Amino acid sequence: MGKSYKNDLPLMDTSEGIVLFHPHIPKNAKKYVSEVLDSRWIGQGPKVDLFEKQFEKKFSLTGPALAVGSGTDALHLAYLLAGIKLGDEVLVPLFTCTATTIPLLYIGAKPILVDINKDTLNISVEDLRKKISEKTKAIVCVHYGGLPCDMNEIHALASQYNIPVIEDAAHALGAKYDGKQIGSISQFTMFSFQAIKHLTTGDGGLLTFQDLNSINLARRLRWFGIDREDKQKGIWENDIKEVGYKYQMTDLGAAIGLAGLEEYDSVLDHRKKLYARYVYNLKNFSDVQIVDDFDPKKEHAAWLFTIFAKNRINLQLKLRSYGIESGQTHYRNDRYSIFNCNDHFPNMDLVDDEYLILPLHTKVSLQDVDRICDVIKLGW
């Protein structure tokens, strides 16, 4: 339990409290969406193409960008492009949104859950080494909260088995590892533009990949297996050779995304300042541990700020009494019946009841962070 301190902070009006998440809607979003509504295209059209090009340029991608309807769509396409098939084993993080792993079940592949690094909640390289085998067809890693995984070690391991690394970077837009932009390191990287991410398209995602020769196949898989360029020429003789999906982004979503790209630098800067303020306030407070290894090779994207705290529920209730939301957001996947997992995960067991996410978004100010930390320091 946290120590007790003098409670001299006034209670907040909970109707004007600090919420855990809030979408960031860029100022030009309404204008750009209105322009799309007045145009010929509201589904997948020229704005999607423009968004892909602008995204590639903004984040210095070394491969093409494919905009889709969700991050889950992007991961499914990555698994297909990586050649994962029925019965294949794929190493995946234990601690992540189920959207990371469920697309493997679409294929009939076998997810092998891997324990966490207990300091970061990212995938454990030590457990990866124990579980990788000749049956393994890919390694999937998630940059929890925006903190990059140990990519050098993961790639070294993948290289030994000549298998691809697939990054779920849903939290990590703008993160860097060893000076390299996340999205330019591995064979496949997924980004999410779900409502509360750094950059939103309402809901959406994007896949980038290193093999330039896969772009036409990826585009066909995104749209029912149809070659849209040939279709728009009016050539109906073109065949459909792959089972495709309806995974496209719309111009409405892309319009919001284009507005978001214009503001992205300021959004990321604000989030990083909030993150740094949390660290400054809490780094020497012994009743909590910040979920971060502070590795100088890793540049955090500051999507989540997470702490470990004993008697977490009591702390959540204390924060709530001051109008401050907190929560867990992600859960260990071995608890879900669909994954049929009976393995043991000792690192996750150690922190399962302790991790807590604090508010961090563009509606939060530095003064809000100070107040949140002051409440935490009162004890619970």
Residue 9 lies in a domain: no
- What percentage of the chain exceeds 70 in pLDDT? 94
Average pLDDT over residues 199-209: 97
Indicate whether 242 and 306 sit together in one domain: no
State residue 41's pLDDT score.
Answer: 95
For residue 342, which of 87, 95, 112, 93 has the smallest C-alpha distance?
112
Cβ atoms of 252 and 34 closer than 8 Å? no
Indicate whether 145 and 281 sit together in one domain: no
State residue 6's pLDDT score.
Answer: 44
State residue 12's pLDDT score.
Answer: 52
CATH number (domain holding residue 287): 3.90.1150.10
Indicate whether 347 and 224 sit together in one domain: no
Indicate whether 211 and 308 sit together in one domain: no
CA dihedral 221, 224, 228, 231 (to 10 degrees): 140
Confidence of residue 373 (pLDDT cuts 50, 70, 90): very high
User: Where a domain ends, among 258, 281, 305?
Assistant: 258
Average pLDDT over residues 309-321: 97
Average pLDDT over residues 120-144: 98
State residue 367's pLDDT score.
Answer: 97
Query: What's the structural domain count of the chain?
Result: 2
Indicate whether 125 and 224 sit together in one domain: yes
Model confidence at 343: pLDDT above 60: yes
Average pLDDT over residues 288-317: 98
Indicate whether 43 and 110 sit together in one domain: yes
Residues in the chain: 380
Candidates 197, 233, 241, 377; catalytic one? 197
State residue 67's pLDDT score.
Answer: 98
Residue 366 lies in a domain: yes
The rounded mean pLDDT for the chain is 94
pTM of the predicted structure, to 2 decimals? 0.94
Calpha distance 136→367 (Å, rounded): 48
Indicate whether 18 and 50 sit together in one domain: no
Name the pairing type of β-strands 298-299 and 176-177: antiparallel
Confidence of residue 236 (pLDDT cuts 50, 70, 90): low
Q: Which long-range contacts (CB under 8 A, 24 or more apart) does 310-316 make?
A: 310/1, 310/2, 310/354, 311/1, 311/2, 311/380, 312/353, 312/354, 312/355, 312/356, 314/1, 314/2, 314/380, 315/2, 315/356, 315/376, 315/380, 316/356
Model confidence at 2: pLDDT above 50: no
Torsion angles phi and psi, residue 335, rounded to 5: -80, -10
Indicate whether 320 and 205 sit together in one domain: no
Indicate whether 154 and 48 sit together in one domain: yes
Residue 328 lies in a domain: yes
Residue 66 lies in a domain: yes
Residue 5 lies in a domain: no
Indicate whether 236 and 329 sit together in one domain: no
Distances (CA, A) of 248 to 83, 228, 285, 299: 21, 12, 47, 31
CATH number (domain holding residue 48): 3.40.640.10
User: Where a domain ends, among 258, 284, 315?
Assistant: 258
Which range marks the domain in which residue 38 is found? 29-258
Give the model confidence (pLDDT) of 318-333 as tens digits.
Answer: 999 999 999 999 999 9
Give the model confidence (pLDDT) of 143-179 as tens digits.
Answer: 999 999 999 999 999 999 999 999 999 999 999 999 9
Residue 276 lies in a domain: yes
User: Where a domain ends, among 231, 258, 285?
Assistant: 258
Residue 119 lies in a domain: yes
State residue 318's pLDDT score.
Answer: 97
Average pLDDT over residues 31-60: 96
Average pLDDT over residues 177-198: 97
197 catalytic per annotation: yes
Indicate whether 139 and 174 sit together in one domain: yes
Model confidence at 13: pLDDT above 60: no
Give the model confidence (pLDDT) of 247-259 as tens digits.
Answer: 999 999 999 999 9
Indicate whether 38 and 173 sit together in one domain: yes
Residue 295 lies in a domain: yes
Calpha distance 116→142 (Å, rounded): 11
Q: Which residue has the higher pLDDT, 88 or 241?
A: 88
DSSP 11: P
